[in-house]
Amino acid sequence: MSKRTSDQNLILRPFLPVMNTTTPTGLHHLTAIASDPQQNVDFYTGLLGLRLVKKTVNFDDPSAYHLYYGDETGTPGSIVTFFYWPGLDARGRVGAGQNTAIVFSAPSGSLAFWQEHLRRHHVSAELRTRFGETVLAFADPDGIPVELVEVSDDARTGWQAHARIPAGHALRGLHTAELTVRSPHATEKLLTATMGYRLVKREGNRARFEAASGGGSGHYIDVIADAVLAPGLGGAGTIHHIAWSVPDDATQLAMQIRLQAAGYSVSDVRDRQYFHSIYYREPGGILFEIATATPGFPVDEPVGSLGTALKLPVQFERARSEIERLLPPIKVTQ
């Protein structure tokens, strides 16, 4: 990452204290790379019971699918997304300098259901305990670690209308995320000094932080220190970036200024149709995004039919037939 030390930043620094009202409220989404879109849809909708809430393309490269999964409306904190590039077979490697797991919140008492459900679909899983929580750990078809954590105080309901997952067992959204870095100090400092997070627990080489506004599940982030883990390699089977949620454009602008004042090189605001985004790289090498909670996924199709049609931003509509010709069709059963 590049550090900025301009006079302007030095002048701004004393006037930008971290305030709870102008920092991220929690997780917005994780974005990963898939090797096969149909396999990806079958796993995250068919098996895990998430809703495909948007079928679109990578706005920086419309030759790639961008598939969004979440709860009924794709509430920030419930969303995982995947890129798929036709013909690109390069596989990545999960390692240091990456998000290293997709961690969902599951209702108390539901892991017995999920264990049996995964077993019936030939997905091997193992139970673990972490921070006193019960964790069911397995991998998605591309090898990305996925975990379901039993949480007793998460008021979110997840998607309640899946054909085969009982509503009472529905995954509610992201519980936490994992930033695995070789040296955690600078990453932790960014979280606490600039992004408003506070340390809540440490266990072994894992530290858990919570957003300034609190909130529990969906508002955590775990930093794992692993000095000997090989660096991750981007590609299919890895998580590409993590996005933090802010309520509005004004909060995003305040974060952009604060990050620049702290020496980070931050992108300008990008219009992602369903949210607005800025990007920067944290000291451990992981790409961070700050995304607004608005306008949301129903902005270009009704809630009842989210995810059913290929949606393109206006700049790509003229190329729709070419884009549709290159992307393989996917069938969604949910």
What is the contact surface with Zn ion in residues (CB under 5 A)?
31, 243, 289
Residue whose CB is less far from Zn ion, 53 or 243: 243
Least Å from the CB of residue 28 to Zn ion: 8
- Closest to Zn ion by CB, 211 vs 242, is 242
Distance separating alpha carbons of residues 88 and 306, to the nearest angstrom: 27
> Which stretch of DSSP H or E encloses residue 198?
strand 198-203
Task: List 33's β-bridge partners, or say none.
Answer: 83
Nearest approach, Cβ of residue 29 and Zn ion (Å): 6
- Report, in Å, the least distance between residue 70 CB and Zn ion: 13
- Alpha helices, H only, 30-159: 37-41, 111-120
d(CA 226, CA 241): 19
Nearest-CA neighbor of 88 among 242, 230, 241, 234? 234
Phi and psi (nearest 5°) for 69? -115, 150
Structure tokens at 255: 């974060």
Element (H, E) at 69: strand 61-70
CB closer to Zn ion, 32 vs 243:
243
Smaller CB distance to Zn ion: residue 243 or 246? Answer: 243
User: Nearest distance from residue 271's CB to Zn ion, in Å?
Assistant: 13
Nearer to Zn ion, 54 or 169 (CB): 54
Question: Minimal distance in Å, beta carbon 304 to Zn ion?
Answer: 25
Reading the block at residue 285, the tokens are 């090498």
Instruction: Give 7's Cβ-side CA count (13 Å radius).
Output: 0
Minimum distance from CB of 209 to Zn ion (Å)? 20
Q: Compare residues 162 and 311 and give the one whose CB is closer to Zn ion.
A: 311
